[in-house]
Amino acid sequence: MPSALKMAANDAALEAAVKRSRQLLNKRALVAAAASAVPVPGLDWAVDAAMLSKLIPEINREFGLTPEQLDRLDPSKQEQVQKAATMVGSVLVGKFISKDLLIKAAQKIGVRMTTKQLAKYVPFAGQIVSAAVGYAAIRYFGEEHMKDCIRVTQEARLEIPLLGYTP
């Protein structure tokens, strides 16, 4: 499957939204990786949940898909976005991020998270592996969410907000 940037090709506003989202994603993934390296059981899960609860709304915002942004659309466009989100199968597009939604999202990357927990108990090398897996898991989840956002905006023919847009 192509990357989010390739999916956004030939649309400058979408490409800009992906690039801004990736900057946010990289910062959050680095924090998650640092937390994963700390050998305190459960700390990384708490940090991952906090990172995702902030990251998902920020990515949604870049694509014009926060609940507030969608409320400003005319009702027919709101319906198009809802249909597109349902078709794409995303539970996080245009939604307030709750604990239940984060649990559903974490299920997508559950195997990676379990590996990360197990790796922590191997001295030094395990912490490096745990940090790498933590970083990769957050990056993967963020990239998949960006792809969902792109599919929804393309399907609904939604205009991307020009947040910090420079051609």
| Domain regions of the chain by residue span | 4-156
C-alpha 122/C-alpha 100 separation (Å) is 31
The answer on pLDDT for 165 being more than 70 is: no
pLDDT of residue 166: 43
| Mean per-residue pLDDT, 53-75 | 90
pLDDT for 75-123, tens place per residue? 999 888 888 888 777 666 765 555 565 555 555 555 455 555 555 555 6
pLDDT of residue 123: 61
The answer on pLDDT for 53 being more than 60 is: yes
* Closest C-alpha among 163, 161, 150 to residue 5: 150
pLDDT for 128-148, tens place per residue? 777 787 888 889 889 988 999
pLDDT of residue 128: 76
In contact, 24 and 58? CB cutoff 8 Å: yes
pLDDT of residue 92: 64
pLDDT of residue 127: 74
